[in-house]
Structure 1
Amino acid sequence: MKGYFIIITIISCCIFMLSSCEKFLTEDPKNVVAVTNFYQTENDAILAVNAIYAYLNSTSTGSTAGVYHSTFWVIAGVASDEMNNESIFTPDIDQISKFSESPINNGLQETWTMHYKAITLANIAIARIPGIDMDPTLRTRLVNEAHFLRGLLYFDMVRLFGNIPLVLEEVEPLTPPVTTPNAIYDQIIQDLTAAEDLPDSYPPGQGRGRATKGAAKAILAKVYLTQQDWTACAAKCKEVINSGQYQLWDDFADVFKLSSRGGKEAIFSVGFGDAGGAIIFWEVGQFNVRLLPPQLSVEGVQNAQGWQTPTQNLYDTYDPQDRRREVTYITEVHNPDGTVTTIKPYIQKYWDRAAEPQGNGSANDYPVIRYADVLLMYAEAENELGNSAEAHTYINMVRKRARWDGVAERNTVPDYVGLSQEAFRAAVLQERRLEFVAEGQRWFDLARTHTLEKLVPVAKPGITPQPKHYLFPIPQREIDLNPNLKQNDGY
């Protein structure tokens, strides 16, 4: 598997500078650096960890995107009741949207490949940085950042594919053995626990997009949520809440403004930036291409193609006055003659119209996890623990924000009161659906709550997931390369 090779490609124009995690990545074959010739200086250590971050957003491989650039979150959206695929240019995504995917699927192959490439860089950093003569505090921080990223990446992979190779060493066999999910989770928890020693924050201008103590705790909480370890989940969530590092924006519209990137609600996000001022289509246009309606071309908006759209059922689930609906979706376009054309709902939440009126290359971040998620995880865990009052308090924090229109509270989205434990389960799953549209959450939520077969047919009539769809097929190419891999049941 190419993801297990121990050659790292690092060049100055494709590695983030220490103060930023949002530069465009490119690659020059002349600048391939062998591991044996690297990891000599403090700057080498910084660049090595920045290289892991670089694989989260975009790579130098032409049309192949980074881990969170445009495939991961799309798969999680279309393999659920959240989004449909409408593009002839993405047949592999279309298969996933219709639950007809096979082991030969470029989207799944890309997801596998990019995750393991980034894991490989994390493994090398964890092994090599401790031996560098450098500032010990920075050295420890960089190693823990690598632990955080490796834990996050394995968390994605074990949920998507189940039994996978657990590659932890710099030198691994070409065909590594497969590890059980329990062992993978043990390692994820170990990595994220180490990352809890990261700083709470960084000096202004030096840490946007970098892992923090709060990010480690928040992802750990989600790990425990997935494992249904409610006590541990609630404890980690409360540590994040009590830290005082994060808050909800008063207005849901503020969450996705460019000025809010790295702000008080962002716990861990992946930045795409603006390529140092240059508009590079593949680098920063992902949200526009995939989500904004092509009809916006009459308003001069560029690259809006609407490849993935929300299900009508999702849109109709909102109370019409729910602030999240008007922020998340666009249903009108303004024609040059002054008339307005009504269109079906498209997702516009990542488009800051005021900052980018032409939409040519959205520079918005991808939110891996934000504070609203912690509040809803805490509410869910407390409900499972039988602490109904606490659960209602925290879900209603998110509900209250949905009533705010930027000036005053609307008479809508009332607080939940007196829900039974079972009714609360449905309510918090619904609240997550309304809150996290196109944030790569929905398939994971339906999979962990075992509700795929129940909820997907409601939004996609005629499409019924099967038990096999609680995991995705292992890419056939990986099985061909590694005979230790076994295909998931049903594929």
Structure 2
Amino acid sequence: MKSLKLYILLILFVSITFSCSEDLLDIDNPNTPTVEQGWKTEKDAEMGINAVYNMFYKPSTWTRWIYFRYDLASDEGHSTSPWVELADWTRFRYNNYNFWDGNNWHWRDFYKAIFRANQVLAYVPEIEFANEANKDRILAQARFIRALYYYQIALLWENAPIVLEPSKPQDEPLQRTEAEIWAQVEEDLNWAKDKLPDQWDDANVGRATKGAAKALLARALMQQGKLPQAKTELDWLVTGDGKGYYGLVDNYRDNFTHTNENNKESVFEIQFSDVNKGGDGDDLTASMGFQRTQFFAPGGIGWQDGKARAWLIDEYKKELTKDGEYDSRLLYNIFYKQAYKDFPDAANNDTLVYNRPWNNNAWGNETFIKKYSTYYYRDREDYHAPNNFRFIRYADVLLMYAECLNAAGQTAEAYTYVNMVRERPSTNLEKLEVAHPEIGMDQALFAKRLQMERSLELCFEAVRWGDLKRWGLLTSQAGIDELKTRDIDFNNFVLQRNHRLPLPQIEVDNNTNLIQNTPY
């Protein structure tokens, strides 16, 4: 009898054990929901679009490496990094098409961001919202960010796949032309611009707005030479209904610190923070800090991998302000040996890290990129700078508008918008027609001067490479010859080759529908 009871107990124990095990296997992990489990509620949709924004915080995008592509490869900057391959990718020496930090990582994470946007666009339409306008705003943000990444793909590689649905590992998407990618950018932004709000409430500051979509669309149109269409989009921000939302801040430096973020000059900016100081993954402690400053600061303060070209200093000094002083943008943008002689009150601006004796042994006569560094409040750089990156500033909008007006033969009106930038209180330069009377109403001379005006205002803001490409300086021998006079790295530039990057070779090898860019 006793043995029978033990047997029954054993059977019950085994049954319960297996039953519990099967139940445990059916328990959902709330931290890793499947597609079937997610995308059910408005909250799911909000989390989905936040995951798209999260791709801004990857080293391959606007946290770190993108500035090597746009600032250091342009004539404004260069690299002397001891990591030779990293520096070579700013010198047009592409020996390894799979160089992770210069090519593959960008490609992977741009398409990863697009994948996340595609998930929102595929699944959110099926979610029931209490207010359909809120659904449209989420979809419009996804379209805006997808367009933003396809913009980079068209600019860097030109020919690449267009993926508009959530992709699967076995997919081999077709290669599309640069023109087709630009058309997709236009389609997304045209859809988004009228569904995004003019402004967001305080809890949502930093999300894409109507003005951001129109400004990015204008950039895309200008890259294609469609300046009349670009002007139409910019009209809303400059002379139309959106004009009241934007303006220039009095102090130029306020655009690059963490104490004056999302001001009236911001059209779209990436929200960085030093709250989390984790790694680069997708966990809750992942870093949201701006890492560029660590790589561009002088040795002993940072890694000094990226530096400014000295010709910019000479250009700033060619004109004095209305008060007979040097342009303060030079002080805010570049750290160089003579700065404190040129700006006697510099100590009032450089309160900490850069307000020290010049390190002759370590720095010599080097010129360092100062814009976006945190010299104004602390004595070091790290991987967690809190200052936002201003992706599109209103000053950029005004200068784009002037470029469009001049191209349309409205040069007299174009002066107005260049002068708004030049006469900012902290810049305080003479009107362009006073400082450069030789230009007159000559469209070609005005356009050439505007190229320099854009660099003096927007240097090291990741726009120069696109500008050089738009103006044809990267696709003509005359353009390359001009760039060589400012940047010796252009002696390595091969015409009809280096105006775009090679496709990552591993992508070509794994996708039978991809053909490597020629003549790589």
TM-score by structure 1 length?
A: 0.84
| 1:429 is aligned to 2:431 | no
Alpha-carbon contact 2:256-2:390 (below 8 Å) kept:
no
How far the C-alpha of 1:272 sits from its partner, in A, is 2.0
- Residues 290 and 337 (structure 1), Cα distance of their counterparts in 2 relative to 1, 3 Å cut: closer
- Counterparts in 2 of 1:143-182, with a 5 A limit? 143-171=139-167, 174-182=171-179
- Which of 131, 134, 137 is the aligned partner of 2:129? 134
SS in 2 for 1:31: coil
SS in 2 for 1:459: coil
**Partner Cα distance (2:201, 2:122) in 1:** 27
- Residues 446 and 226 (structure 1), Cα distance of their counterparts in 2 relative to 1, 3 Å cut: same
| 1:257 is aligned to 2:251 | no
How far the C-alpha of 1:165 sits from its partner, in A, is 0.4
**Partner Cα distance (1:472, 1:440) in 2:** 16
- Residues 105 and 314 (structure 1), Cα distance of their counterparts in 2 relative to 1, 3 Å cut: farther
Quote the residue 2:232 is aligned against. Answer: 235
- Residues 338 and 394 (structure 1), Cα distance of their counterparts in 2 relative to 1, 3 Å cut: closer
**Partner Cα distance (1:116, 1:281) in 2:** 20
| 1:395 is aligned to 2:418 | yes
Quote the residue 1:220 is aligned against. Answer: 217
- Residues 416 and 211 (structure 1), Cα distance of their counterparts in 2 relative to 1, 3 Å cut: farther
| 1:476 is aligned to 2:505 | yes
| Cα-Cα RMSD | 2.6
The one-letter code matched in structure 1 to 2:109 is M
- Counterparts in 2 of 1:24-63, with a 5 A limit? 31-58=31-58
- Residues 66 and 47 (structure 1), Cα distance of their counterparts in 2 relative to 1, 3 Å cut: farther
SS in 2 for 1:275: coil
Alpha-carbon contact 1:161-1:474 (below 8 Å) kept:
yes
SS in 2 for 1:369: strand
- Residues 487 and 396 (structure 1), Cα distance of their counterparts in 2 relative to 1, 3 Å cut: same
Quote the residue 2:309 is aligned against. Answer: 311
**Partner Cα distance (2:468, 2:258) in 1:** 30
The one-letter code matched in structure 2 to 1:254 is D
Per-residue Cα deviation, 1:378-423 (whole angstroms, up to 9, x for no partner): 111111111111111111211222x735xxx466975555151111
How far the C-alpha of 1:31 sits from its partner, in A, is 3.3
Q: More deviation in 236-245 or 276-285? A: 276-285
Of all paired residues, the percent bearing the same amino acid is 30
Quote the residue 1:289 is aligned against. Answer: 294
Quote the residue 2:17 is aligned against. Answer: none
| 1:209 is aligned to 2:200 | no
**Partner Cα distance (2:413, 2:435) in 1:** 13
How far the C-alpha of 1:33 sits from its partner, in A, is 3.0
How far the C-alpha of 1:267 sits from its partner, in A, is 0.9
- Which of 178, 184, 187 is the aligned partner of 1:187? 184
Alpha-carbon contact 2:161-2:175 (below 8 Å) kept:
yes
SS in 2 for 1:318: helix
Residue segments in structure 1 that go unaligned for 5+ positions in a row: 1-28, 59-64, 298-303
**Partner Cα distance (1:424, 1:336) in 2:** 36
How far the C-alpha of 1:490 sits from its partner, in A, is 1.8
**Partner Cα distance (1:116, 1:339) in 2:** 45
Per-residue Cα deviation, 1:68-100 (whole angstroms, up to 9, x for no partner): 1111122111222111112123x4431222111
| 1:80 is aligned to 2:103 | no
Alpha-carbon contact 2:353-2:375 (below 8 Å) kept:
no
Quote the residue 2:3 is aligned against. Answer: none
Alpha-carbon contact 1:98-1:463 (below 8 Å) kept:
yes
**Partner Cα distance (2:261, 2:489) in 1:** 39
- Residues 133 and 324 (structure 1), Cα distance of their counterparts in 2 relative to 1, 3 Å cut: same
How far the C-alpha of 1:235 sits from its partner, in A, is 1.2
- Residues 474 and 462 (structure 1), Cα distance of their counterparts in 2 relative to 1, 3 Å cut: closer
- Which of 91, 105, 109 is the aligned partner of 2:99? 105
Alpha-carbon contact 1:322-1:412 (below 8 Å) kept:
no
**Partner Cα distance (2:411, 2:391) in 1:** 28
**Partner Cα distance (2:355, 2:66) in 1:** 40
The one-letter code matched in structure 1 to 2:412 is A
Quote the residue 1:371 is aligned against. Answer: 394
Q: More deviation in 131-140 or 357-366? A: 357-366
How far the C-alpha of 1:104 sits from its partner, in A, is 2.4
How far the C-alpha of 1:284 sits from its partner, in A, is 2.4
**Partner Cα distance (1:439, 1:69) in 2:** 13
The one-letter code matched in structure 1 to 2:485 is V
> Larger Rg: 1 or 2?
2
- Residues 52 and 338 (structure 1), Cα distance of their counterparts in 2 relative to 1, 3 Å cut: closer
Residue segments in structure 2 that go unaligned for 5+ positions in a row: 1-28, 280-284, 319-325, 341-351, 475-479
How far the C-alpha of 1:164 sits from its partner, in A, is 0.7
Alpha-carbon contact 2:77-2:308 (below 8 Å) kept:
yes
The one-letter code matched in structure 2 to 1:257 is T
| 1:460 is aligned to 2:492 | no
Q: More deviation in 314-323 or 391-400? A: 314-323
- Counterparts in 2 of 1:398-409, with a 5 A limit? 398-401=421-424, 404=426, 409=428
Q: More deviation in 220-229 or 132-141? A: 132-141
**Partner Cα distance (1:353, 1:126) in 2:** 41
Alpha-carbon contact 1:81-1:455 (below 8 Å) kept:
no
**Partner Cα distance (1:189, 1:415) in 2:** 38
- Which of 184, 189, 196 is the aligned partner of 1:198? 196
- Which of 331, 334, 337 is the aligned partner of 1:326? 331
- Residues 462 and 57 (structure 1), Cα distance of their counterparts in 2 relative to 1, 3 Å cut: closer
Quote the residue 1:438 is aligned against. Answer: 460
SS in 2 for 1:32: coil
- Residues 160 and 263 (structure 1), Cα distance of their counterparts in 2 relative to 1, 3 Å cut: same
SS in 1 for 2:36: helix
Per-residue Cα deviation, 1:187-223 (whole angstroms, up to 9, x for no partner): 111110111120011112x122210000000001101
**Partner Cα distance (2:191, 2:150) in 1:** 15
The one-letter code matched in structure 2 to 1:483 is T
TM-score by structure 2 length?
A: 0.80
